[in-house]
Amino acid sequence: MPVLNFKGKTAVETYHHTVPHHTLEFDKKLSCLGKGEAPSLDGNLIIEGDNLLALKALLPTHAGRIKCIYIDPPYNTGNEGWVYNDNLTQPQFKEWIGQTVGKDGEDACRHDKWCCMMYPRLSLLKELLSEDGSIWISIGDDEVHHLRMLLDEAFGETNLIATIIWRNSTGPKQSKYLSTSHDYIMGFARNLTSWNRNLLPRTPEQEGDYQNPDDDPRGPWRSGGLDARNYYSRGRYSIKCPGGRVIEAPPGGSYWRVPEETLWELDADSRIWWGEDGNNVPRIKRFLTEVQEGLVPQTVWDYGEVGHTQRAKQEYLKILSDREVFTTPKPLDLIHRILDIAT
């Protein structure tokens, strides 16, 4: 398997083992506890501090127990001003410690620093995941290729679930080149053979596609075409419709999907729709009761379904008033989508 090499990799490959364990200290003043309830690690937690130390602090109690992880690391666009502050003592890192990561040209090691920052965190996150768990990571163009190779190495390239494209903008933005209107969300399983995805619920509009114009006792249905381009060459036979019309061949020079004998067997079972007058090109009926209980998730998510960056900021400011201490929040519906699929 190809691997990614970067400056400092040898120092961070086992660095997560050397990070000291810390005890989480509860602040009762900031806790939402019921009367007589004591703080514990079993409920909802907000942990403030360096996330590398926080992940190590969770290992004794949460290793192998987490079903789903979502993280939103720095995209490393060069405009974020994130600080590389891991406590590495190797000489090659002395110039890095505490320095703000800059743009290409200003900071020749910008991408190396990002990889060094991510590597030990991914190693600890893997330890936290259950055997049937998964991790989902938001990322942009600057580091998506590096992230994929880091995850291939940390989790195994066979455990990739998907790389999702999130269309996160409602319109074009001013740009010197092209207006970027998407981010990525990369999903990896701890063990893909043990991971199971959930189906997404159908929307009312999608449910409305299933109707019952002929009062079929099997309930609502939608129709699918019986013609296709060279579909295993099932045939180009002529059909006499129940209304009397003769269809010499499938439309557009295509082929029927089923042999003639099968077509009439389906018709005898009232599974062929010929239209209101009985003279339409035949279509097969697919009943709502026969399809899956939901929809297989796709890899392109539109802002109309899962929100966009503008909505995320509106949601953020609604919670925290006018304190914009985090400039790139994600919309709630985006997180809901991940949880719906993975938990």
Structure confidence by residue, pLDDT tens digits, 215-257: 999 999 999 988 887 655 567 889 999 999 999 888 777 888 8
Residues 54 and 75 in one domain: yes
Give the residue-averaged pLDDT of 191-203.
Answer: 93
- Domain boundary at 264, 290, 316, which? 290
Residues 28 and 157 in one domain: yes
Per the structure, the count of domains in the chain is 2
> What residues make up the domain containing 97?
9-200+301-342
For residue 115, being part of any structural domain is answered with yes
Residues 98 and 178 in one domain: yes
Q: What is the pLDDT of residue 340?
A: 96
Q: Give percent above pLDDT 70 in the chain.
A: 98
Q: Are strands 283-287 and 272-273 parallel, antiparallel or unpaired?
A: antiparallel
For residue 296, being part of any structural domain is answered with no
Q: Give percent above pLDDT 90 in the chain.
A: 61
pLDDT beyond 70 at 269 = yes
| CATH value at residue 95 | 3.40.50
Question: pTM for this one?
Answer: 0.84
For residue 106, being part of any structural domain is answered with yes
Residues 164 and 43 in one domain: yes
Rounded-to-integer distance, Cα 4 and Cα 40, Å: 40
Higher pLDDT, 292 or 310: 310
Sign of the C-alpha dihedral computed for residues 103, 74, 51 and 19 taken in this order: negative
For residue 1, being part of any structural domain is answered with no
Give the residue-averaged pLDDT of 88-105.
Answer: 82
Rounded-to-integer distance, Cα 307 and Cα 295, Å: 19
Residues 174 and 322 in one domain: yes
pLDDT beyond 90 at 320 = no
Weakest mean pLDDT among 82-96, 136-150, 213-227: 82-96
Give the residue-averaged pLDDT of 183-202.
Answer: 96
Give the residue-averaged pLDDT of 42-64.
Answer: 91
Residues 334 and 219 in one domain: no
Residues 126 and 248 in one domain: no
Residues 161 and 230 in one domain: no
For residue 4, being part of any structural domain is answered with no
Residues 165-175 as b/e (b if ≥16 CB within 10 A, e otherwise) read bbbbbeeeeee
**Paired residues of 136 in beta bridges:** 70, 187
**116 pLDDT band (50/70/90 cuts)?**
very high
Q: Which two tokens stand for residue 313?
A: 């900021």
